[in-house]
Amino acid sequence: MSKLDELIAELCPDGVEFKELRQVLRIRNGKDYKHIAEGSIPVYGSGGVITYINQFAYDKPSVLIPRKGSIDKLYFVEEPFWTVDTLFYTEINTEIIEPKFVFYYLQSQRIERLNTAGGVPSLTQTVLNKIPIPLPPKPVQEEIVRILDNFTELTAELTAELTARRKQYEYYRKILIKNSNNIRQYSLGELATLKTGSKPKDVFEFPHKYEYINAGTTNSGYTDKANCDGDTVTTPSRGQGGIGFVGYQYDPFWLGPLCYRIKSRNDKIVTNRYLFYYLSCFNEKILAYKKEGGTPSVNASDLVNINVDVPPLTEQKRIVAILDRFDALCNDLTSGIPAEIEARQKQYEYYRDKLLSFKEVTA
């Protein structure tokens, strides 16, 4: 029997009392901070810390609950802080409930489902105050917090390792390319063809047969037909936030009208996978041709002038093999660190929901 089981058997074998959230804490509104001088106190918005000032709104442990916007993001803060008006903060009655227990419990309740707006997602104090929350004895709360803290610490360690690996990856891919021997320089137009696609007849929101690649840094949906083969490099031609992004498609896909397909003219001179790594590594060469205005864009007539350093084919293959291993470690959702983080997160959510499920005591 675990320590938690022993505590429950001893202190609340028949269940626990439930209270409304308003009975264990007080919800407070955030305020504007722009009249306050800069400092070291973090200012939280619904998306996280936005700046630092020299005053605090509250200096005790608190759960921050978004009022508008990203209402699925809760924050637990132990140091002095300030919140803007899109974020509630809470004054918690620590005599009866642990602040972190409140945080974990509200996480498990997925309070975004309580959205009261048709446009921008929002939550109200009225709705939040009525959320029922279990009130097990403090030793039980503390043991649950200890267990869940251990889970989150493991995920934080993996996330820190992933960040370090990605920095290492960014550093080494430039070094590998720059330090290659027998490099020849070509223009991109000499090495590859650049073409835009067309709009598909049907676009599906959920996974379908082929990805639809258009403007932006992610796919734009799915289609039931393909107009491009796999082993192809892509980069957006127009759009906010996508210019300079370089993608690579392993499988056939549909190329949209706001994206360029970049394809090697001769794979005995340069491989598509090498072009992908080169252009993504030196994407400042693409950004140099970016045209600002209403909608940022780059022209194919400019991109063909990009100079590309091309080592011998055997060296290209060696570079690609090394960078593929780094890429899988840093980005692959089926293996490597991201997959492990996702597995840990699912495990955490499973045990969190299980640990925070209590039988309500009957009067």
**pLDDT band at 275; cut points 50, 70, 90:** very high
Mean of all residue pLDDT scores within the chain: 88
pLDDT of 359: 84
More confident residue, 259 or 363: 259
pLDDT digits (tens, 9 = 90+) for 237-252: 998 778 999 999 999 9
* Residue 91 three-state SS: strand
Average pLDDT over residues 42-60: 92
Comparing 105-109, 128-132, 247-251, 325-329, the range with the smallest average pLDDT is: 325-329
- Whether the CB-CB separation of 358 and 15 falls below 8 Å is answered with yes
Domain boundary, last residue among 106, 135, 164: 135
Same domain, 189 and 298: yes
Q: Is residue 131 part of a domain?
A: yes
Assess if residue 319 is contained within a domain. no
What pLDDT, on a 0 to 100 scale, did the predictor assign at position 332? 67
Model confidence at 84: pLDDT above 60: yes
Share of the chain above pLDDT 90, in %: 55
E strand intervals along 189-319? 192-196, 210-213, 222-223, 232-236, 247-249, 254-255, 259-264, 307-310
Report the C-alpha gap between 217 and 234 in whole angstroms. Answer: 10
Domain contains 363: no
Co-location of 33 and 122 in the same domain: yes
CATH number at 213 reads 3.90.220.20
Is position 329 within any domain?
Answer: no
Choose the weakest-confidence range: 101-105, 188-192, 280-284.
280-284
Number of C-beta neighbours around residue 341 at 10 A:
19
Q: CB burial class (10 A; 0-12, 13-18, 19+) of residue 209?
A: middle
Q: Among 272, 292, 310, where does a domain finish?
A: 310
Residue 303 and residue 237 share a domain: yes
Domain end call among 97, 119, 135: 135
The one-character DSSP state at 298 is -
CA dist., res. 356 & res. 307, Å (int): 58
pLDDT tens track for 158-191: 878 777 777 777 777 777 787 777 889 999 999 9
What is the distance between the alpha carbons of residues 141 and 356, in angstroms, rounded to a whole number? 9
Whether 93 has a pLDDT exceeding 90, the answer reads yes
Domain shared by 300 and 190, yes or no: yes
C-alpha span between 271 and 191 (Å, rounded): 9
Asked whether 232 and 272 are in contact (CB, 8 A), the reply is yes
Residue 336 lies in a domain: no
Q: Say yes or no: 301 and 207 in one domain.
A: yes
List strand residue ranges (DSSP E) for 95-230, in order: 132-135, 184-187, 192-196, 210-213, 222-223
DSSP 311-342: --HHHHHHHHHHHHHHHHHHH-SSSHHHHHHH
Angle 178-179-180 (CA atoms, 0-180°, nearest 5)? 95
Q: Is the pLDDT of residue 333 over 70?
A: no
Does residue 102 belong to any structural domain of this protein?
A: yes
- Which residue has tokens 């995920």? 155
- Do 190 and 126 fall within a single domain? no
Say whether both 285 and 190 belong to one domain. yes
For residue 234, count CB atoms less than 10 angstroms from its CB and return exposed for 0-12, middle for 13-18, buried for 19 or more: buried
Rounded to a whole number of angstroms, the distance between the first and last alpha carbons of the chain is 28
pLDDT at residue 118 tops 70: no
- For 59, the token pair is 């200096």
Same domain, 127 and 60: yes
The SS3 of residue 268 is coil
Are 127 and 191 part of one and the same domain? Answer: no
Q: Which of 338, 360, 352 is nearest to 147 (CA)?
A: 352
**pLDDT tens readout for residues 335-352:** 667 777 787 888 878 878
Neighbours of 173 (CB within 10 A): 20
* Residue that wins the pLDDT comparison between 2 and 31: 31
80 shares a domain with 196: no
Could you tell me if residue 130 is inside a domain?
yes
> Would you place residue 284 in the very low, low, confident or very high pLDDT band (cuts 50, 70, 90)?
very high
Same domain assignment for residues 210 and 297: yes
Residue 209: is its pLDDT beyond 80? yes
- pTM of the predicted structure, to 2 decimals: 0.62
Task: Check pLDDT > 70 for residue 8.
Answer: yes
Q: Which residue has the tokens 């504007």?
A: 32
70-82 average pLDDT score: 91
Ranking 138-142, 172-176, 259-263 by mean pLDDT, the lowest is 172-176
Provide the domain limits for residue 119: 18-135
Identify the helix (H) or strand (E) that includes residue 20. strand 17-20
Tokens coding 23: 């009975």
pLDDT of residue 206 exceeding 60, the answer is: yes
For residue 69, the model assigns a pLDDT of 76
Rounded to whole angstroms, the maximal C-alpha distance in the chain is 83
Query: Are 206 and 280 part of one and the same domain?
Result: yes
Q: Report the domain count for the chain.
A: 2
* Residue 340 belongs to some domain of the structure: no
Is the confidence at residue 214, as pLDDT, over 70?
Answer: yes
Please give the Cα distance from 129 to 117 (Å, whole number): 17
